[in-house]
Copies of this chain bind each other. A is one copy, B any other.
Amino acid sequence: MSESFGERVRSALHARGPLCVGIDPHAALLDSWGLSGDARGVREFGLRTVEAAAGRVSIVKPQVSFFERFGSQGIAALEDVLAAARAAGLLVIADAKRGDIGSTMDDYARAWLTPGSSLEADALTVNPFLGVGALDGAFALAAQHGKGLFVLAATSNPEAAALQRSTNLAGATVSASIMSEVSARNAEASLAGEWGSFGFVIGATVAWDEAGISSFTPQAPILAPGFGAQGATPADLRPRFGAMADAVIASESRSILSAGPGDLADVVAARAAEYLEVAGV
């Protein structure tokens, strides 16, 4: 049995701090990097970002849609990027936000989390709209292979509030219910004194009280987009996440990637150092 994903994240955060470099080959960025707007361009963009991230941060997060945009060729490019990242010792979170039921969901999990799959990553972001229970096959498959899942819980985009803050009969918000259901699935890890492998996506600028959510146990990683271009800074990490700050993976994309390929490694190193200072690991 391989080390659990939760424990691998704990070590990764301890080693190089919370910064996670998003691999987002957005059309405008491809253009400013002087790369073509096609599968060749996203491949090159991804490989250069991996090179800049390796040894400077522990975690990268490729955004799947920017590769899927170019069909099977874009997905083949992503496979190369995933392989390069894992070969460089980076933990890879595939940001695909997949969500479905039963055997359909299971095949998404198999695609992204089976050792030896061409799309193998260390963790996958998933969407709980069909119920946390619909993800149980994916939880089981992830646990079996030492992989992780990040369940969308509370996002910071304004359009999401109405749905995610709707309440059940007991008065819990959708976000809170998801976190409690997923936490129950981390209970086994807790008994072993480990971090859970099933984490959450919680936007860096989400107001926890407004979202109806609060600190949770067992400890499990929080993937927090919204640092950088969306407004949160390294200094916000502790005030915003309080007791949970040590579990935060702070994801930045555009703010770092806009440096361009030449300066990317330096920008990554400098930004990682800023986070390390406040993270106090």
Contacts and interface: CB of A to CB of B under 8 A. Distances in A.
B131 A159 contact: yes
Interface in A46-81: 63, 65-66, 68-76, 78-79
Interface in A150-209: 152, 155, 157-168, 173-174, 177-178
Nearest to A77: B72
Given A99-B127, A132-B159, A166-B168, A76 B69 contact: no
Nearest to A119: B71
Given A65-B108, A66-B107, A111-B69, A160 B131 contact: yes
A119 to B, nearest CB: 5
Given A162-B168, A168-B162, A157 B130 contact: yes
A130 B152 contact: yes
A35 to B, nearest CB: 16
B111 A71 contact: yes
A271 interface: no
B159 A133 contact: yes
A148 interface: no
Contacts of A110: 69
Contacts of A72: 72-73, 75-76, 78-79, 118
A240 to B, nearest CB: 19
A216 interface: no
A162 B75 contact: no
A14 interface: no
Contacts of A26: 103
A129 B162 contact: no
Nearest to A132: B159
Interface in A96-148: 97-105, 107-108, 110-111, 117-119, 127-134
A65 B129 contact: no
B174 A155 contact: no
A263 B69 CA distance: 36
Interface of A: 24, 26-27, 63, 65-66, 68-76, 78-79, 97-105, 107-108, 110-111, 117-119, 127-134, 152, 155, 157-168, 173-174, 177-178
